[in-house]
């Protein structure tokens, strides 16, 4: 477990050493929050949806976590190209422990990003229905972070090219985000889109966060938590297996 802790701490230190990375990572979510929140807010309100900022903020928090978590996998390719990964893998410790340490570190960093966006969203008018439920929101944020960090790790374990990783991630991440219900309500969707939404794991993370923070949900809190937990555990297993097969 010392290895897991050391690698977890290393990932966090990397994050806090780069101020440019912190600022750059919150730029896109903040732009979505402000531009869409205020730009589409009047239209959403006239349609009888209430405050669009209240609806949008949980989805943008999930977005910040998603992008940071998935792209943490690129550090594996970076470390492999510069030889740092080889130094880590030849150590007399289990590769599963190495993978868990990196995943928990990446997930913690992604959670920090989500918390920053949550705090900033309060400056533009978002208010959670109950601050007592904030610990439960952190649980959902952590599950989202671990799930997509494990996904990024699993994919990066099979690639050696950073450009290829970015292309695959963009091909996966953008559909996952746009079909999660982060930007629009899930009621009344065409059956084909509704089916895709139901197999999108981020949809359950967004729905769980929205339920906890605003009291509005589509799938139900228990369903959101259960499905998210099962998929997270499954991706951790897959990621651990693929990481253990890395050739150095």
Domain segments of the chain as ranges? 2-244
pTM recorded for the entire structure: 0.90
Task: Look at residue 225 in the predicted model and tell me its pLDDT.
Answer: 94
Task: Look at residue 90 in the predicted model and tell me its pLDDT.
Answer: 65
Cα–Cα dist 12/1, whole Å: 17
- Is pLDDT at 76 greater than 80 in this prediction? no
Instruction: Name the pLDDT band for 96 (thresholds 50, 70, 90).
Output: confident
Cα–Cα dist 21/63, whole Å: 16
Give yes or no for a contact between 29 and 60, defined as CB atoms under 8 angstroms apart. Answer: yes
Task: Look at residue 16 in the predicted model and tell me its pLDDT.
Answer: 63
Task: Look at residue 63 in the predicted model and tell me its pLDDT.
Answer: 92
Instruction: Name the pLDDT band for 91 (thresholds 50, 70, 90).
Output: low
Average pLDDT over residues 21-25: 67
Highest mean pLDDT among 75-89, 111-125, 165-179, 234-248: 111-125
Task: Look at residue 119 in the predicted model and tell me its pLDDT.
Answer: 92
Instruction: Name the pLDDT band for 83 (thresholds 50, 70, 90).
Output: low
Residues 94-111: b if buried by 16+ CB within 10 A, e if exposed: ebbbbbbbbbbbbbbbbb
- Is pLDDT at 147 greater than 70 in this prediction? yes
Instruction: Name the pLDDT band for 243 (thresholds 50, 70, 90).
Output: confident
Taken as a whole, the chain contains a residue count of 248
How far, rounded to the nearest angstrom, does the alpha carbon of residue 238 sit from its chain's CA centroid? Answer: 17
In the 8-state DSSP scheme, what is residue 248? -
Cα–Cα dist 18/40, whole Å: 34
């Amino acid at each position: 477990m010392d290895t897991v802790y050391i690698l977890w701490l290393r990932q966090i230190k990397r994050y806090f050493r780069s101020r440019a990375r912190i600022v750059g990572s919150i730029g896109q979510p903040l732009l979505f929050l402000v531009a869409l929140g205020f730009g589409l807010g009047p239209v959403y309100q006239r349609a009888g949806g209430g405050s669009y900022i209240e609806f949008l903020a949980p989805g943008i928090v999930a977005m910040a976590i998603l992008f940071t978590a998935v792209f943490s996998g690129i550090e594996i390719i970076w470390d492999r190209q510069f030889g740092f990964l080889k130094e880590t893998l030849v150590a007399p410790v289990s590769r599963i422990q190495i993978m868990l340490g990196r995943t928990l570190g990446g997930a913690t960093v992604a959670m920090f990003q989500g918390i920053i966006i949550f705090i900033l969203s309060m400056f533009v008018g978002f208010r959670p229905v109950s601050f007592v439920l904030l610990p439960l929101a952190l649980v959902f944020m952590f599950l989202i972070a671990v799930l997509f960090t494990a996904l990024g790790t699993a994919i990066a374990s099979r690639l050696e090219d950073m450009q290829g990783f970015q292309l695959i991630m963009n091909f996966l991440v953008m559909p996952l985000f746009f079909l999660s219900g982060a930007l629009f309500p899930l009621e009344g969707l065409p059956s084909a889109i509704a089916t895709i939404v139901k197999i999108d794991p981020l949809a359950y993370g967004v729905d769980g966060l929205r339920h906890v923070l605003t009291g509005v949900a589509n799938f139900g809190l228990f369903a959101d938590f259960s499905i998210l937990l099962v998929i997270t555990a499954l991706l951790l297993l897959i990621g651990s297996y693929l990481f253990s097969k890395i050739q150095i």
